[in-house]
A = this chain, B = another copy of it.
């Protein structure tokens, strides 16, 4: 027994459905009290579906993320959901598993199901969001964008800046043999974190060889494999920058399995904080950023867009990062004088060039 309709209420209150509808819309109506009573007695709730059909709105927002079990995206979901519910929207969550095909198929079925879309696209070359947008679906990019998309709203993070901070930190400690474990090559964070890091190194005269530039996929296993390869090199790096949290977990596992001491033998910097990062031995140095806020902001941006009467210019919000220096980074092992000798000989054997730091 459920399903009282507006007609039932109208009959009971002795008015027309129209009047009930007006009452529900807050207009002043003579039979207000009678109607209110009828609504209560029947426990009437307007059918959201019928309303949607009439209005063309669903009051639902789709949030499409690569992986909810990534603590960053879990936080994003939490932030976005909280804002959505404040405005009485509900959140449809889709997990793409960093899989472009899945993402494409999800987006293709979204028009008509939701009023808007918050998307963390897997690759920058994805065209599915364009189609969704053309089909009239407002899109906000989250954390990641697609290529040349200044026409879209986006909530991003200063990946390059965060990576710069990480790079400077390692350089300042005296590292020169610095490696990076990159994420998905053609995703925004993958590219920006890589570029921000390498450019900063370069500006200080350090250019990691190919072997020091690992290509991961933002998942734990690739972090593990990457670090395994790095440490198997004849001349392993003295510092490693791992460009996301899950790969950092893998990296830690690898270091642990090999028995490499951090930071004595190798320094480690991660991107994105982890719940236990501060409790590790040593506590992990990471590039941190607001997480729930990022989700909340994206949702706010989108809802604002929906309530807008005429569309204005796309908005881009770029959040700042913060380097949390903890214990996993330290000066490279070789002290200066010895290092000088060693590096001199090493340089002749090595495929990579390590110039001296420029005076700044």
Contacts and interface: CB of A to CB of B under 8 A. Distances in A.
A281 interface: yes
Interface string A95-127: 100000000001001011100000000000000
A256 interface: yes
A279 interface: yes
B52 A49 contact: yes
A50 interface: yes
B95 A92 contact: no
What copy number does this chain have within its complex? 2
A113 B2 CA distance: 14
Contact-size category for A: 35 or more
A60 interface: yes
A274 interface: yes
Contacts of A77: 68, 77, 93, 95
> Which of the listed residues A49, A75, A252 has the most CB atoms from chain B within 10 Å of its own CB?
A49
A68 B45 contact: no
A279 B279 contact: no
Interface string A244-282: 000001001100100000000000000000111111110
A7 to B, nearest CB: 15
A23 interface: no
A326 interface: no
A113 B46 CA distance: 11
A81 B69 contact: no
Interface in A73-105: 74-75, 77-78, 81-82, 85, 90-95
A232 interface: no
A282 to B, nearest CB: 9
A276 B3 CA distance: 49
Given A69-B71, A71-B71, 19 more contacts: A3-B136, A47-B112, A48-B112, A49-B53, A49-B112, A68-B81, A69-B74, A69-B78, A77-B93, A77-B95, A81-B94, A85-B94, A90-B92, A93-B93, A252-B279, A276-B276, A276-B277, A276-B280, A280-B281
Pairs A-B, 6 closest by C-beta atoms: A281-B281, A276-B276, A2-B135, A93-B93, A74-B74, A49-B52
